[in-house]
Amino acid sequence: MNTVISLNDINKNYYVGEITISALQKVNLKIMEGEFVSIMGASGSGKSTLMNLIGCLDVASSGEYLLDGVNVSRLKADEFADIRNKKIGFVFQNFNLLPRTSALENVELPLLYDRSGILRNNTKAAREALIKVGLGDRLDHIPNQLSGGQKQRVALARALVNNPSLILADEPTGNLDSSTSLEIMELFAKLNKQGKTILIVTHEYDIAEYTKRTVFLKDGMIQWDRKIKHSDRPNQLPVNHGKRNYE
């Protein structure tokens, strides 16, 4: 089994005037191919920073990041762009689809910037990706004609179309109602079963429970890293707490 993500002693500092804010401290993380992982934590815990680093949108202040075995710790902007294009598929909370652009064209977008596959049939690949997420009948709809769940499916298809090593989802159900959230999470689970490596950043325990492994961040450090348990929920009374008192 290949290692998809390998973070070694990652630090990330922000400088506001003379004050240094340490967003990530000594983060070590390994994610293997085919894993289904969630990153959790409170606001300001460093989730977004970690996700930006893993997504090659940002560079760590120190430490080493291997993506698919390749060191991507210190790359130029254009090299990062190529990595994002080939190895990472993004899914965002607010879908981030191009407005007034058909679902098909939205999904084709990553292929437009793919420097390796000039001869590939973009439209065919995009159509297949949309069929995979169950939107085969909505190819020509523009985002405004789609429901939130359908928009997120288009975004997922866009993330899948380049066949990336990693799907990186940032609060993918944040703008969806609970039943649609469920559908989307089941879709993620299905894709994971098909072998996709998926990393979901979320603050919802229900979402994290779908994943096989949860990395919990607190103050820029990994607090724990395992399958989430029911008892991890805050302010959660133990199930038999009252009973015990009366025993």
Partner 1 sequence: MNKYLKIEKAAIKSILRNKTRSLLTSLGIIIGVSSVIVMVALGQGSSKKIQTDIASMGSNLLMISPGNSIYQGISRGSGSQQSLTLDDCEMLIEGSQYLQAVSPSVNFNGQVIGGSGNWYTRIEGVNQFYPQIRNWEIAEGNFLTAKDIKAKKKVVVLGNSVAEELYPSGNAIGQKLRISNTPFTIIGILKKKGQNAMGMDQDDIILAPSTTVLSRLKGSKYGSYINSIYASAVSEDVMDEAETEITRLLMQSHKIQSENDIDFRIRTQSEILEFATSTTNTLTLLLGAIAGVSLLVGGIGIMNIMLVSVTERTKEIGIRMSVGARTRDILLQFLSESLTLSLIGGSIGILSAVLISAGLKQVTSLTPIIDPVIAITAFLFSGAVGVFFGFYPAKKAAELNPIDALHYE
Residues that bind partner 1 (CB under 8 A): 52, 55, 57-58, 77-78, 81-82, 84-86, 90, 92, 96-101, 109-110, 112-114, 118, 158, 162
Give the contacts of 31 (CB within 8 A, at least 6 positions apart). 3, 4, 5, 6, 37, 166, 197, 199
Nearest distance, CB of residue 130 and partner 1, angstroms: 16
Nearest to partner 1 of 49, 211 (CB atom): 49
Cα Rg of the chain (Å, integer): 19
Question: Could you tell me if 131 and 125 are in contact, meaning their C-beta atoms sit under 8 angstroms apart?
Answer: no
- Residue whose CB is less far from partner 1, 100 or 243: 100
CB of 150 to partner 1, least distance (A): 18
Q: Which residues pair with 167 in a beta bridge?
A: 89, 198
Least Å distance between CB 114 and partner 1?
7
What residues does 234 pair with on adjacent strands? none
CB of 71 to partner 1, least distance (A): 19
Q: Least CB distance from residue 14 to partner 1, whole Å?
A: 12
The helix, strand and coil proportions of the chain, stated in percent and rounded to the nearest 5, come to 35, 25, 40
Nearer to partner 1, 143 or 149 (CB): 143
The span from the CA of 54 to the CA of 59, in Å, is: 9
Q: Are 7 and 29 contacting, i.e. CB atoms less than 8 angstroms apart?
A: yes
> Among residues 30 and 120, whose Cβ is nearest to partner 1?
120
| Of 84 and 138, CB closest to partner 1 | 84
